[in-house]
Amino acid sequence: MSNNNHFFDDIAIGASVAIDGTCLTVTQFSEDKITFDISDFTADITTLKFLSIGDQVNIERSHHMYKENGGHNLYGHVERIAEVVEFTATSETYRLVIRIPQDNINIFS
């Protein structure tokens, strides 16, 4: 991952960063790149396996206790993949409907 915008200038090896909602651990970094190792299991249950070079991703740094975070906290981790069955725009909002695989329904109960 590129560090061209200096978002990771203060990162450390071992830091947790959410990429498209999946928490990953920084394994290497330099002035212009950040590296994460992804296990087969993590790839299998997330959408990370569909990423290609040049794709844009959502990045969220971990929260630091007692520091301003803009009011945005993360809760939990990516557990599985669900199918999008409806995605419609209505005025200034969107409606997203997903189909939960039967073997994962217990995650949502």
- Amino acid 83: pLDDT: 85
Residue of 50 and 105 predicted with greater confidence: 50
Q: Does 4 map to a domain?
A: no
Question: Is the residue at 45 inside a domain?
Answer: yes
Higher pLDDT, 20 or 6: 20
pLDDT tens-digit map of 80-99: 778 889 889 988 888 888 88
Q: CA-to-CA distance for 77 and 81, rounded, in angstroms?
A: 12
* Residue pointed to by tokens 């290609």: 52
Which is nearest to 62 in space by CA: 1, 16, 6, 19? 16
Residue with the two structure tokens 């007692």: 66
Range of the domain at 51: 16-63+80-108
Distance spanning both ends of the chain, measured CA to CA: 35
17 residue type, one letter: V
Q: Say how far apart CA 25 and CA 104 lie, in whole Å.
A: 25
Q: Looking at residue 88, what is its pLDDT?
A: 92
1 domain-assigned = no
Whole-prediction pTM: 0.65
Alpha-carbon gap, residue 25 to 101, rounded angstroms: 28
What is the pLDDT at residue 73? 59
CATH of the domain at 46: 2.40.30
